[in-house]
């Protein structure tokens, strides 16, 4: 058994100049919202969910990007409602949010 049942990684990478990056797409706000919602839902802690900051996840053009392990489900999001849906549906109830999935072809 793993110490956490799920790890949620938010890319918070900031690229130089005009290059696309998750930091320019509201990733920090999404991270903070997710962390808060996970705690409010009682999902945080040992045996449960850990929300982490990450550097570049190499999928910049789909940003902002979040990935949930161990399922390796890649999401993009637009607003707090999307984050709330990921927390409620996936992290709480184990159901992938299909409409927010990042297509496998999206990369840098």
Under 8 Å between Cβ of 51 and 73: no
Q: Work out the percent of the chain whose per-residue pLDDT is above 90.
A: 78
DSSP string, 19-58: ---GGGGTHHHHHHHHHHHHHHTT-BSTTSEEEEEES--S
| pLDDT for the residue 1 | 66
Q: Work out the percent of the chain whose per-residue pLDDT is above 70.
A: 99
Mean pLDDT computed over 84-94 = 98
| pLDDT for the residue 106 | 87
Global pTM exceeds 0.85: yes
Domains of the chain: 6-100 (3.40.30.10)
For residue range 12-34, what is the model confidence (pLDDT) as tens digits?
988 777 777 888 889 999 999 99
């Amino acid at each position: 058994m793993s110490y956490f049942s799920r790890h949620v990684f938010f890319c918070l990478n900031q690229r130089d100049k005009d290059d696309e990056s998750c930091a320019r797409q509201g990733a920090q706000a999404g991270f903070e919202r997710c962390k808060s919602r996970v705690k409010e839902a009682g999902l945080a802690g040992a045996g449960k969910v850990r929300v982490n900051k990450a550097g570049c996840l190499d999928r910049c053009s789909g940003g902002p990007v979040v990935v949930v392990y161990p399922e390796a489900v890649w999401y993009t999001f637009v607003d707090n409602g999307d984050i709330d849906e990921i927390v409620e549906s996936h992290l709480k109830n184990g159901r992938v949010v299909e409409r927010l999935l990042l297509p496998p072809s999206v990369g840098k």
